[in-house]
């Protein structure tokens, strides 16, 4: 008669004292880890997420537009107002960031880029040719003004691409457009004073109209407001240059 013994199991993964003794003696393999199902995490949808300012800030402009008909936001006046404010900020930022540089265009681009520009956008058109020192001098001024006044559109075009047979003696030339109409024409560098500084060009451009706009919501968009801002920058630059000159003379002594 054979030698029989019984091993009584408890729930799955558990064992008897006999099993434990045999494992200590090395007669049985290690006890397998009991099965443990992964913890259940319910899926989150948009409605179950906590809605606050951070939730709004994560949205793209298109997503914020889609939330206009969100019934949940209709019940939360603060979030709805914040959504509108955030959307307005994003649209303004996108509008301003279109410019900031002097953009090269061709003759075929002129109508779309200049004549058909939005009514609230002033466009400064630079007619030039390579190899003309006066054009290069004015170009440096316009590049600085374009970065300083990002809501004003600056474009450059080779003169004869814009106007066939345009005389080189008229270079450089600036044309100012708004709402599809030409508002100013400046032929030659002499209009902008001796030295042709960005501040001098800015003062000439704003003589009659508020051409330059920095895009800041708190700034005064009127001609007087623009002129005052340009003059303030001009005075600050002159004072700074004067102080730097005095410091250099002092150090040289």
Integer angstrom CA distances of residue 250 from 47, 243, 247: 69, 10, 5
pLDDT band at 188 (very low <50, low <70, confident <90, very high): very high
| Alpha helix stretches (DSSP H) within 49-76 | 53-57, 61-66, 71-74
**pLDDT above 90 as % of the chain:** 34
Q: Which residues pair with 209 in a beta bridge?
A: none
DSSP string, 105-161: --GGGHIIIIITS-TT-EEEEEEE-TT-HHHHHHHHHHHHHHHH-TTSEEEEEEHHH
Average pLDDT for 202-230? 69
Structure confidence at residue 210 (pLDDT):
87
Question: Do residues 198 and 238 lie in contact, with contact meaning Cβ atoms separated by under 8 Å?
Answer: no
pLDDT tens per residue, range 68-89? 656 555 556 667 777 777 777 7
| Predicted structure pTM score | 0.56
DSSP string, 182-223: EEEEEESGGGG-TT--HHHHHHHHTSSS-------TTS--SH
pLDDT band at 218 (very low <50, low <70, confident <90, very high): very low
Q: Of the ranges 65-74, 107-116, 199-208, which one carries the lowest mean pLDDT score?
A: 65-74
Structure confidence at residue 219 (pLDDT):
47
């Amino acid at each position: 008669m054979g030698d029989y013994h019984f091993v009584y199991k408890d729930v799955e993964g558990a064992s008897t004292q006999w099993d434990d003794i045999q494992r200590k003696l090395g007669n049985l393999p290690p006890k397998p880890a009991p099965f443990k199902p992964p913890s259940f995490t319910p899926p989150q949808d948009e409605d179950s997420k906590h809605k606050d300012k951070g939730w709004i800030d994560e949205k793209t402009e298109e997503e914020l537009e889609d939330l206009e008909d969100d019934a949940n936001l209709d019940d939360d006046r603060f979030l709805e107002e914040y959504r509108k404010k955030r959307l307005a900020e994003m649209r303004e930022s996108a509008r301003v960031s279109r410019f900031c540089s002097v953009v090269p265009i061709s003759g075929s681009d002129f109508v779309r880029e200049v004549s058909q520009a939005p009514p609230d956008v002033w466009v400064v058109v630079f007619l030039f040719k390579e190899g003309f020192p006066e054009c290069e001098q004015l170009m440096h001024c316009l590049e600085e003004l374009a970065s300083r006044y990002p809501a004003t559109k600056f474009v450059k075009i080779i003169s004869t691409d814009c106007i066939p047979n345009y005389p080189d003696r008229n270079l450089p030339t600036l044309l100012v457009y708004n709402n599809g109409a030409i508002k100013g024409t400046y032929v030659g560098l002499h209009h902008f004073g001796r030295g042709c500084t960005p501040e001098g060009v800015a003062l000439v451009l704003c003589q009659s109209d508020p051409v330059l706009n920095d895009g800041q919501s708190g700034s005064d968009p009127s001609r007087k407001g623009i002129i005052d801002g340009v003059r303030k920058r001009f005075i600050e630059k002159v004072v700074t240059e004067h102080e730097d000159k005095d410091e250099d003379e002092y150090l040289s002594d």
